[in-house]
Chains A and B, each alone.
Chain A
């Protein structure tokens, strides 16, 4: 489907101010809005039969928090290390409000984006359709799209919370590469942030000894924020009797952020 909204808007501007349109060539459209492109996953013919050869990841996957083993410490550099050291110092200071001061978000309902979407204390669901894997996170009802139809990564993506992800299957392992993430986004807890150059590589597969455990092995590479690749492992347990439950964060958000960036706790609203 064409995205006529922005195009119509551009047209309106061109008509209202023809001089502007003649002065400069418009910038190249980002990859996601190339109007005449047909991605294989959206093509007229797709191979549903190929789905039968994929591993069985049905059900709901609940996080086994802490089951990934002792976490590796990221080797942060530059301003990312300085921020980490500052926050760690704040936490060590004994200030009872230290962790509140660490939470710097516009809203407590702001979802984490990648990689936090994969490590929320809520469950994941995987959907396989031709040329694509869709990952649904119960918390905030977040959606990740991993395109497995052979398309390349976008060359100049607009930075987003979940970034742009492509993947391919190596046997029963889904190999995912993600780029296009926001500068300063959270890469880990308590002060581990990344640049807009972050590349995340994931290998997602069932545990060879337990088909009801899913393993997500992640490698973070960031030339601006990391001196060396950082590795993490997360595990999930399959639940066959569970469905995801709706999660609308705005329904009763009682934790606004004040002018100092600190999380508040609102009293009963009459």
Chain B
């Protein structure tokens, strides 16, 4: 609600999210990847909330990914709660991957099993 226009104004101004903690330079912000994943942990913490998730790679091995989002301070205004994700949940996740190829990224959105869309802004 009230903090959404912040993200909009920002997109118009510089086409990149504003950062208080660190820049988004470590992520490939031009690339979005969507996967089906199983949540292993959700940390509702500052300066960033994180979800950890298991994703099957091309060879069938399970890799645990760390996906960063903004702070609870901002997420709460987008409908997020500390209970939004639970270990074991199967979700569809869209993220900007790390440039260094490691299993991490910056969240774009999560689609829950019931169809609820939670965006990272």
Known A109-B21, A121-B20, A122-B20: A263·B26 in contact at CB below 8 Å? yes
Contact of A65 among B18, B26, B48, B104 (CB under 8 A): B18
| Cα distance A124–B20 in the bound complex, in angstroms | 14
| Cα distance A143–B98 in the bound complex, in angstroms | 34
- A120 adjacent to B20 (CB under 8 Å): yes
* 4 new A-B contacts at CB < 8 Å, known A122-B20, A252-B49, A254-B66: A63-B6, A249-B47, A263-B23, A265-B100
- A253 adjacent to B18 (CB under 8 Å): no
Determine the main DSSP class of A at the interface with B. Answer: loop
Q: What 3 A-B pairs are tightest by C-beta distance, nearest first?
A: A66-B13, A99-B25, A252-B45
| Cα distance A251–B43 in the bound complex, in angstroms | 10
B67 to chain A, nearest CB (A): 10
Give the A-B contact count at a CB cut-off of 8 A. 113
B93 to chain A, nearest CB (A): 15
B104 — which chain A residues lie within 8 A by C-beta? 265, 267
- Residues of chain B touching chain A, judged by Cβ–Cβ distance below 8 Å, are 2-3, 5-6, 9-10, 12-14, 17-26, 28, 40-41, 43, 45-50, 52, 64, 66, 68, 71-74, 76, 98-100, 102-104
B24 — which chain A residues lie within 8 A by C-beta? 99
B10, B22, B26, B71 interface centre (most CB from chain A within 10 Å): B22
Indicate whether A248 reaches chain B with its CB closer than 8 angstroms: yes
| Cα distance A81–B46 in the bound complex, in angstroms | 35
- The interface bits of chain A over 237-269 (1 if a CB of B lies within 8 angstroms of the residue's CB, else 0) are 101011001111101111100000001011110
Known A65-B18, A99-B23, A121-B18: A254·B12 in contact at CB below 8 Å? no
| Cα distance A84–B41 in the bound complex, in angstroms | 41
Contact of A255 among B5, B21, B71, B74 (CB under 8 A): B21
A253 — which chain B residues lie within 8 A by C-beta? 21, 47
- A140 adjacent to B25 (CB under 8 Å): no
| Cα distance A63–B23 in the bound complex, in angstroms | 18
B38 to chain A, nearest CB (A): 14
Shortest Cβ distance from A60 into B: residue: B2
B20 to chain A, nearest CB (A): 4
- The interface bits of chain A over 83-109 (1 if a CB of B lies within 8 angstroms of the residue's CB, else 0) are 000000000000011111011000011
- B66 adjacent to A267 (CB under 8 Å): yes
5 interchain pairs (CB within 8 A)? A100-B25, A108-B47, A122-B74, A252-B47, A268-B41
Shortest Cβ distance from B47 into A: residue: A249
Shortest Cβ distance from B2 into A: residue: A239
| Cα distance A247–B74 in the bound complex, in angstroms | 11
| Cα distance A245–B3 in the bound complex, in angstroms | 13
A97 — which chain B residues lie within 8 A by C-beta? 25-26, 99
- B23 adjacent to A65 (CB under 8 Å): no
B45 — which chain A residues lie within 8 A by C-beta? 251-252
B49 — which chain A residues lie within 8 A by C-beta? 252
| Cα distance A20–B10 in the bound complex, in angstroms | 58
B74 to chain A, nearest CB (A): 8
- B25 adjacent to A65 (CB under 8 Å): no
A268 — which chain B residues lie within 8 A by C-beta? 40-41, 50, 52, 64, 66
Contact of B23 among A96, A103, A109, A249 (CB under 8 A): A103
- B46 adjacent to A121 (CB under 8 Å): no
| Cα distance A266–B26 in the bound complex, in angstroms | 12
Indicate whether A67 reaches chain B with its CB closer than 8 angstroms: yes
Known A138-B73, A267-B102, A268-B66: A254·B23 in contact at CB below 8 Å? no
| Cα distance A96–B29 in the bound complex, in angstroms | 11
